[in-house]
Amino acid sequence: MEEFIQHLINGLSLGSIYALIALGYTMVYGILQLINFAHSDVYMMGAFIGLYSSRFLGIQEKPGLLSFISVLFISMVGCSIVGFLIERLAYRPLRGAPKLNALITAIGVSLFLQYSGQIVFGATPQSFPNILEDADLLALGGVHLTLFDVTIFMTTLSLMLILRYIINSTKLGKAMRAVSYNGQWASLMGIPVNKIISMTFIIGSALAAAGGILVGMKYPKIEPLMGTMIGLKAFVAAVLGGIGNISGAVLGAMIMGIAEEFVVGYGASTYRDALAFGILILILLFRPAGILGKLNVEKV
Amino acid sequence: MDFLFNEYILSMIVYCGVNIILAVSLNLVNGFTGQFSIGHAGFMAIGAYLSAYLGMNFHTPFILNTILGGLASAAAGYAVGLPSLRLKGDYLAIVTLGFGEIIRVVLLNIDAVGGARGMYGIPKDGGFFWTYGWAVATIFIISQLMRSTHGRAFLAVREDEIAAEAMGINTTKYKVRAFVISSFFAGIAGALFAHYLCYLNPSSFGFMKSIDVVVMVVLGGMGSITGSVIAACIITLLPEALRPLQEITKIDFRMVIYSLTLIILMLTRPKGLFGNLELSDLWKKYVKRHS
């Protein structure tokens, strides 16, 4: 039982990280129907911006809530700029082109970020600065609830609430929903579609940056290729929940995180990567639109 | 022919051949049938591992190994394709990606084929003539197939699935057929690769390899066999051609240049190098213009 609860806690914290990244995938997909492969590398950039900004500010050895929040903030702003530039330079010129071209471009951008990251940051893993001291908040028998788990969960939760507010209660959010419903009609209603798409990328990238910082804290080795696998899994989480659906992405990410922790915890750790895709395939075969997604019936 | 080249150049030429088989066979699914698969490396891995295993443990003749490898891949293609080809577009892409990864992880966990250590001591076989023999066979079979009733059905599925269905084409059946044929050749390519390199590791069949093949197809032009052949050669040789640059600057710029080329190409020539034209179409155009 203790073991079970411990795995559940670990799974929730892993799921929160997946959720932050999955939201970026699902928002971009909802609006552009594009799998933004470069998103996982924006997340990688987030971790590295965190590393360098903490060095620059001289707070890499001064753990504390203030250091954590300032690094998080800088990294989110930095990644927003990266996300904006990616959309502006690589995706916008392809707006009318076939979907596959945009997809290949996304892969190209992803490779570009990874390999230029290897040149700029170096290919060897670097250790992430200690911006927050980990401690056991609660230790009941064998169950440990650490400060990191709580921080990860709280950060995700608050960012999620902000996102929810933006999407449901602001003019920007209304415009985003309109564009994802139908871009052409939205532009006829006077919504500046390109600006809204840029904003989507900015918000998604900021969330990915937060994911990068949290992963950096929890698993303190970061390297330029760190995004690939976690990016794929976050994407799978988005599909699992129903791609284009915000709450679906969070739900899918939590399921993925918890399932993965249980598989690792109960022995089959070498199969952890296969499990993610196994779940996905089963869900897609029996419910192709994902858990919360709506299936579009194709009409002539 | 072998004595004309040194070992390094010959190996590059053989890898070109392997990639030609992969690209042309994936073009059947992605280009001609209009489905989107990004798990080709998984099928390649099945062919490679089975063929290598047979060659090492049962000393069966090379041609038999390759064909059995191809058939095993085709069977896997059938098993994967039958349920997943009901899905469309990005969903299909992600499912094929998932199957590709699962195949890799399973191979990673099978001790009989070396697991993560890789598989050593595969009997050396194949080489230039075998590879290009199979490449020519692949190109011939797929181009002839596209001229047949089946090929027309594949194109109809790509152009408009609902209209195709209305014309009495069983779309799922044709999609699965394209997938199975494509997987067969991927298995062959894997077998040729395994016996030429004499060493296999699951990590060579990861997501990146699948992406490489997709890039070849898109770069060459969806639905152009000529394009796939040329793009396969470019993608194989480009990193090698850029090697001197790395030696001068001491920094590995190759992948950065590769990815930038990819982005710029998509922005400036979105239909790929050849669009859906073949060499013969271009030749006809040329003749028309000059007569």
Q: What tens digit of pLDDT does each residue of A239-251 get?
A: 888 877 888 899 9
Q: What confidence category does residue A202 fall into, taking pLDDT thresholds of 50, 70 and 90?
A: very high
- Written as six digits, the tokens of A168 are 């449901």
Average pLDDT, chain B: 87
CA-nearest residue to B90 within chain A is A35
Distance from first CA to last CA of chain B, Å, rounded?
Answer: 39
Rounded to an integer, what distance in angstroms lies between the CA atom of residue B144 and that of residue B152? 11
A 213-252 near B (Cβ less than 8 A)? 228, 232, 235-236, 239, 243
- Judge whether residue B2 has pLDDT over 60: no
pLDDT at B215: 85
Rounded to an integer, what distance in angstroms lies between the CA atom of residue A174 and that of residue A171? 5
Give the pLDDT mean for A62-79.
Answer: 88
Nearest-neighbour CA in chain A from B237: distance (Å): 18
Residue B25 lies in a domain: yes
Nearest-neighbour CA in chain B from A170: distance (Å): 30
pLDDT at B132: 93
Q: Is A267 left (phi over 0), alpha (psi -120 to 50) or beta?
A: left
Rounded to an integer, what distance in angstroms lies between the CA atom of residue B5 and that of residue A154? 63
User: Rounded to whole angstroms, what are the CA distances from A2 to A14, A130, A152, B161?
Assistant: 18, 29, 21, 53
pLDDT at A99: 77
Average pLDDT, chain A: 86
- Judge whether residue B105 has pLDDT over 70: yes
pLDDT at B36: 84
Q: What confidence category does residue B18 fall into, taking pLDDT thresholds of 50, 70 and 90?
A: very high
Q: Is A132 left (phi over 0), alpha (psi -120 to 50) or beta?
A: beta
Per-residue pLDDT tens digits for A144-181: 888 888 889 999 999 999 998 999 899 999 999 999 88
- Judge whether residue B21 has pLDDT over 90: yes
Looking at the complex, does the CB of residue A291 fall below 8 Å from at least one CB of chain B? no
Nearest to A277 among B102, B252, B262 (CB): B102
Q: What confidence category does residue A88 fall into, taking pLDDT thresholds of 50, 70 and 90?
A: very high
CB atoms within 10 A of CB B95: 26
SS (H, E, C) chain B: CHHHCCHHHHHHHHHHHHHHHHHHHHHHHHHHCCCCCCCHHHHHHHHHHHHHHHHHHCCCCHHHHHHHHHHHHHHHHHHHHHHHCCCCHHHHHHHHHHHHHHHHHHHHHCHHHCHHHCECCCCCCCCHHHHHHHHHHHHHHHHHHHHCHHHHHHHHHHHCHHHHHHCCCCHHHHHHHHHHHHHHHHHHHHHHHHHHHCCECHHHHCHHHHHHHHHHHHHHCCCCHHHHHHHHHHHHHHHHHCHHHHHHHCCCCHHHHHHHHHHHHHHHCCCCCCCCCCHHHHHHHHHHHCC
Burial of A1 (0-12, 13-18, 19+ CB in 10 A): exposed
pLDDT at B5: 64
Rounded to an integer, what distance in angstroms lies between the CA atom of residue B236 and that of residue B23? 11
Give the pLDDT mean for A276-287.
Answer: 78
Q: What confidence category does residue A298 fall into, taking pLDDT thresholds of 50, 70 and 90?
A: low
A191 Cβ contact partners less than 8 Å away, ≥ 6 residues apart: A175, A178, A179
pLDDT at B110: 84
Question: Would the CB atoms of B263 and A108 count as touching at under 8 Å?
Answer: yes
- What does the DSSP assignment read for A149-201? HHHHHHHHHHHHHHHHHHHHHSHHHHHHHHHHH-HHHHHHTT--HHHHHHHHH
CA-nearest residue to A108 within chain B is B259
Question: Would the CB atoms of B93 and A93 count as touching at under 8 Å?
Answer: no
Angle at Cα A234 formed by Cα A143 and Cα B209, nearest 5°? 125
Nearest to A94 among B98, B207, B267 (CB): B267
Structurally, chain B folds into a number of domains equal to 1
CA-nearest residue to B80 within chain A is A281
Give the pLDDT mean for A183-191.
Answer: 89
Residue B93 lies in a domain: yes
Q: Which of A265, A249, A270, A279 is nearest to A15 (CA)?
A: A249
- Most distant CA atoms of chain A, gap in Å: 62
Rounded to an integer, what distance in angstroms lies between the CA atom of residue A274 and that of residue A161? 32
Residue B11 lies in a domain: yes
User: Rounded to whole angstroms, what are the CA distances from B24 to B16, B88, B246, B281?
Assistant: 12, 22, 31, 18
pLDDT at B288: 85
Per-residue pLDDT tens digits for B247-261: 777 777 778 888 888
Backbone angles phi, psi at A269, to 5 degrees: -65, -25
The partner residues of A138 in beta bridges, in order of sequence, read A145
Q: Which residue has the higher pLDDT, A143 or A172?
A: A172
The answer to whether the Cα torsion of B181, B186, B187, B193 is positive or negative is positive
Nearest-neighbour CA in chain A from B271: distance (Å): 8
The partner residues of A146 in beta bridges, in order of sequence, read A136
Percentage of the residues of chain A whose pLDDT score is greater than 90: 33
Choosing among B88, B101, B254, which should be mutated to test the A contact, i.e. which has the most A CBs within 10 A? B101
Residue B151 lies in a domain: yes
Give the pLDDT mean for A119-134.
Answer: 84
Per-residue pLDDT tens digits for B177-216: 999 999 999 999 999 999 998 888 988 898 888 988 988 8
Angle at Cα B91 formed by Cα B30 and Cα B163, nearest 5°? 60
CA-nearest residue to A29 within chain B is B90
Q: Which residue has the higher pLDDT, B184 or A135?
A: B184
ipTM of the complex: 0.78
Residue B29 lies in a domain: yes
Question: Would the CB atoms of A288 and B259 count as touching at under 8 Å?
Answer: no
Q: What confidence category does residue A265 fall into, taking pLDDT thresholds of 50, 70 and 90?
A: confident
Q: What confidence category does residue A221 fall into, taking pLDDT thresholds of 50, 70 and 90?
A: confident
Nearest-neighbour CA in chain B from A83: distance (Å): 16
pLDDT at B72: 95
Nearest to B256 among A90, A119, A300 (CB): A119
Per-residue pLDDT tens digits for B31-76: 899 888 888 999 999 999 999 999 888 888 889 999 999 999 999 9
Q: Which of B85, B110, B100 is nearest to B22 (CA)?
A: B100
- Sketch out chain A's domains with CATH numbers: 2-286 (1.10.3470)
Give the pLDDT mean for B82-88.
Answer: 79
pLDDT at A60: 66
Give the pLDDT mean for B83-108.
Answer: 82
Q: Which of A67, A58, A30 is nearest to A183 (CA)?
A: A30
Q: By the 8 A CB rule, do B154 and B178 touch?
A: yes
Question: Would the CB atoms of B101 and A232 count as touching at under 8 Å?
Answer: yes
pTM: 0.83
The partner residues of A139 in beta bridges, in order of sequence, read A144
Per-residue pLDDT tens digits for B146-178: 999 999 999 999 888 889 989 999 998 999 999
Nearest-neighbour CA in chain B from A274: distance (Å): 5
- Judge whether residue A183 has pLDDT over 90: no
Give the pLDDT mean for A98-117.
Answer: 86
Range of the domain at B145: 2-206
- Judge whether residue A122 has pLDDT over 80: yes
